[in-house]
Amino acid sequence: MADEEEWRRARAELNACRGRLGEIADGLYPDVPRVAGTPLLCRDAWIPGAPIPLEEIRLEWDARPVPAAIADPADGLPEGCRTYADAVAALAPPKVFEDRPSYRLVAADPPVLRLGPARYFDGVNVGESVAHELAAGVDGLPLRVRVGDPCDLSRRAALPAVTTVTVTTSGRYVLHRRDASKVAHAGGLYQVMPVGVFQPLGDEPPDLWRCMVREYAEEFLGADEDYGDDFVQEDWPFHQAMTAARDEGRLRARFLGLGVDPLTLALDLLTVVAVDDALFGELFGGLVAVNDEGEVSMAPFDGAVPRPMQPAGAAALGLARRHRAALGL
């Protein structure tokens, strides 16, 4: 049982040094395949040989998946905290930290992804715990050892995020520097945009495109995440404009694969959206410089990968470069 100050120090170390700690965690899995030469862990079957049109990804539903082997570890928590999310909320709350409904990935064989119900804190309680354990220098990393194979989706509730590299035909992509004071995950690292946990809005069925469109509005344009009880996404002009552009081929959305972050065991669905320059101006002319999660900028598609960068972002960028001809870039 850790005392509060000890826990806070380790949490601060984690948030200040995710890049360095990620390099250490990367070395803990020497025999696990990587995505596109990056630290992102995967299984070979998770990376298709060519980009898959987003509409060809088939999402299956398992309403009652087998419970994860490890759910709410109590390793190193301060007294009075039942889960890691409890400790974060009580002792180091970021600006954005809500236990919203989410999806758990229970099986993956692209183009088929099998999902089940979950809550956001299900992922925090294991993923941030194993990262905290490493930051605290715990001998033997017992929790990480219990989790075992990071690509075994039965060991924990693996909540997928959708990581999208947005590239213009003139050769620029949108870059994000995540602010550790605003986010619970990957603070201080660079990332592509938009990125968001795959979550439903209301009682909608799983839909990658709908989720991505909302993330574009929130992260690119600073839109509010509270859509209200009367919101109908198909009637939303921004959704209509994005979808029409995709139907017309001016915007090309493709699935690239999936992988696991070695530090936090976060699981990312990797996608790319290639956008004609004129359309980028039409849709995202109001691109914000700062959003609720950090700073926003544009970077050259063929430039050096910023450091420290979240492995999922580096992987999505690497795969998009590999398949640039198929994407019209």
Tens-place pLDDT, residues 11-28: 999 999 999 999 999 999
Per the CB < 8 A criterion, the answer to whether 200 and 101 are in contact is yes
Task: Determine the pLDDT at residue 186.
Answer: 64
In this structure, the chain runs to a length of 329
Q: Which residue has the higher pLDDT, 184 or 282?
A: 282
- Give the closest residue to 51 by CA, choosing from 116, 110, 120: 110
pLDDT confidence of 225, banded at 50, 70, 90? Answer: confident
pLDDT confidence of 188, banded at 50, 70, 90? Answer: confident
Task: Determine the pLDDT at residue 226.
Answer: 85
A 10 A CB-CB count for 54 gives 19
Phi, psi of 243, rounded to the nearest 5 degrees: -70, -40
Report strand pairing: 58-61 vs 112-119: parallel
Cis ω on the peptide bond leading into residue 311 (within 30° of 0)? no
Tens-place pLDDT, residues 123-168: 999 999 999 999 999 999 999 999 999 999 999 999 999 999 999 9
